[in-house]
Amino acid sequence: MADRYQKLTSRPAGAFVARRLGLPRPAGLERYRPGQPVARGPVVLGGAAGGRMHKTLRELLESAGAEVLPAEAAAGAGPSVPAGSLVFDATGIDSSARLRALYDFLHPRIRALAPCGRVVVVGTPPEHAAGGPGEAAAQRALEGFVRSVGKELRDGSTAHLLLVAPGAEGGLESTLRFALSARSAYVSGQALRVTGTAPVPATADWERPLAGKTALVTGASRGIGAVVAGTLHRDGAHVVCLDVAAQAAGLRAVADRIGGGALELDITAADAGDRLAGYLDEHHGGVDVVVHNAGVTRDKTLGRMSADQWEAVIGVNLTAVETLTARLLDSGLLRGGGRVVCTSSISGIAGNVGQTNYAASKAGLIGYVQAAAPAAAARGVTVNAVAPGFVETRMTAAVPLVIREAGRRMNSLKQGGLPVDVAEAVAYFAAPGSGAVTGQVLRVCGQALLGA
């Protein structure tokens, strides 16, 4: 799974040279395997006085099978207890002066964090802070803090900020499990909001949360889409794999491997909505999870870009997503409690040279999920997006070496992500337990330096 440079620097001689030259030494990231415990090693749980999440966090950690060490016990005299995860309830911090509690908890413990460990800070979305500008400032400060911690951590450890709105505490479980587990191996330094206050369906089996569900994945014949299909299948879903007719062979192979359906369809065709609706209605009576993964690039600087290149990218990446989602929502084929997951991109957040069309389409998806989420919430449907950074695929393998190396190393984990990292984030959004999470854009980028 490691790239060549990563393999080289993992050997003693390579590690020595890299260390002497100050070159990055990417750690091997632990990825999720079914049956694995959620948290790796003991979890130290702390919190600022007055927080509202401490009891919930303890219950969720214990129900996930974690060994929970209280902050008081662990912070005695002598060296602190090495932990697999450090979890801090920061919801009680209502002023900037009280941010000190966060420092006091992490400062003595962070250097003893185990490899591939987790720092998880739980706060309140600043826009939900009821205590005025002082509380909003302190809660927003958490984001600058966690992003810095993510950049300081080594050995594959990552940092997460989970912002839970008052009343949404009951919807945190799936997000906490995602953050703590190896499923989020390539996610770091991100703020995720849990804001839904409607009850979230109980998850009977966290290993197969999608049992009994039907999922649709576009662009499923290869690359990230094929891995997404496989991951949703692993989580229990029946997966309908969709791609254009030109990819029929790959599409069939992916579908056969996971016992799923194969639907050849050009999502930009005028009758695409009709054909998709007809297929889902006839074979499954509807659909529960829709993953818009299909996407194209036609890179040129704006002055040299043809109108066809503009239209192709906007049409596939943005317009088709809007059209098909509206069709499935309006017809009721997307069942109550349904999940829509779009694929944005770091380019859509930061912009990119030669990608005015692509960045516009991927930024448009951010606007789409943010605007579509409130309307869909009435039916328990969530609308979210993943935003991949540099992911090792056949597409990125064709990028010239120097640019490819820059893309791989310019992130906190000093390596590219794998398709499965994107797929795990999609599966997290797709899970019934993630019903309190909507309108979010989750970067899967190893905390890439690039941003807006």
Whole-number Å distance between alpha carbons of 406 and 386? 22
Beta-carbon neighbour count of residue 13 at 10 Å? 9
Query: Which of 106, 180, 262, 280: binder of a second copy (CB under 8 A)?
Result: 106
Whole-number Å distance between alpha carbons of 214 and 207? 16
Query: Which of 30, 67, 104, 155: binder of a second copy (CB under 8 A)?
Result: 104
Query: Which of 366, 381, 418, 426: binder of a second copy (CB under 8 A)?
Result: 366
Q: How far is the CB of 222 from a second copy (least distance, A)?
A: 25
Secondary element (H or E) of residue 58:
helix 54-63
User: Are 435 and 201 spatial neighbours (Cβ–Cβ below 8 Å)?
Assistant: yes
Q: How far is the CB of 355 from a second copy (least distance, A)?
A: 6
**35-74 b/e with 16+ CB inside 10 Å = b?**
eeebbbbbbbbbbbeebebbebbbebbeebebebbebeeb
5 is catalytic: no
Query: Which of 52, 370, 399, 404: binder of a second copy (CB under 8 A)?
Result: 370
Q: For residues 291-330, which are near a second copy according to CB under 8 A?
A: 301-303, 305, 307, 310-311, 314-315, 318-319, 322
Query: Of the listed 5, 32, 186, 358, which one is catalytic?
Result: 358
253 DSSP assignment: H
Q: Which CB, 8 or 137, lies closer to a second copy? A: 137
Q: Which CB, 39 or 119, lies closer to a second copy? A: 119
Q: For residues 335-354, which are near a second copy according to CB under 8 A?
A: 347-354
Q: For residues 225-264, which are near a second copy according to CB under 8 A?
A: none
Q: For residues 421-450, which are near a second copy according to CB under 8 A?
A: 449-450
Q: How far is the CB of 411 from a second copy (least distance, A)?
A: 12
Q: Which CB, 189 or 432, lies closer to a second copy? A: 189
Q: Which amino acid is at 186?
A: Y
- Cα distances (angstroms) measured from residue 173 to each of 3, 193, 288, 377, 406: 34, 13, 20, 19, 36
Q: How far is the CB of 152 from a second copy (least distance, A)?
A: 5
Residues 37, 42, 48, 54: is their CA dihedral positive or negative? Answer: positive
Q: For residues 42-101, which are near a second copy according to CB under 8 A?
A: 95-97, 99-100
Under rule CB under 8 A, residue 364 binds a second copy? yes
- Cα distances (angstroms) measured from residue 9 to each of 28, 54, 113, 124, 447: 11, 41, 22, 40, 21
Residue 287: what are its φ and ψ, rounded to 5°?
A: -150, 150
Query: Which of 59, 62, 152, 271: binder of a second copy (CB under 8 A)?
Result: 152
User: Are 417 and 390 spatial neighbours (Cβ–Cβ below 8 Å)?
Assistant: yes
**93-132 b/e with 16+ CB inside 10 Å = b?**
bbeeebbebbeebbeebbeebbebbbbbbbbbbbebbeee
Instruction: State the number of binding residues for a second copy (CB under 8 A).
Output: 76
Q: How far is the CB of 14 from a second copy (least distance, A)?
A: 22
Q: For residues 188-227, which are near a second copy according to CB under 8 A?
A: 189
Query: Which of 147, 183, 284, 339: binder of a second copy (CB under 8 A)?
Result: 147
Q: Which CB, 242 or 366, lies closer to a second copy? A: 366
Whole-number Å distance between alpha carbons of 422 and 391? 8
Under rule CB under 8 A, residue 399 binds a second copy? no
Q: Which CB, 203 or 323, lies closer to a second copy? A: 323
Q: Which CB, 71 or 136, lies closer to a second copy? A: 136
Cite the beta strand spans of 203-285 per DSSP E.
214-218, 238-243, 261-264
Q: Which CB, 2 or 112, lies closer to a second copy? A: 112
Q: For residues 115-134, which are near a second copy according to CB under 8 A?
A: 126-127, 129, 132-134
Residues that are catalytic: 358
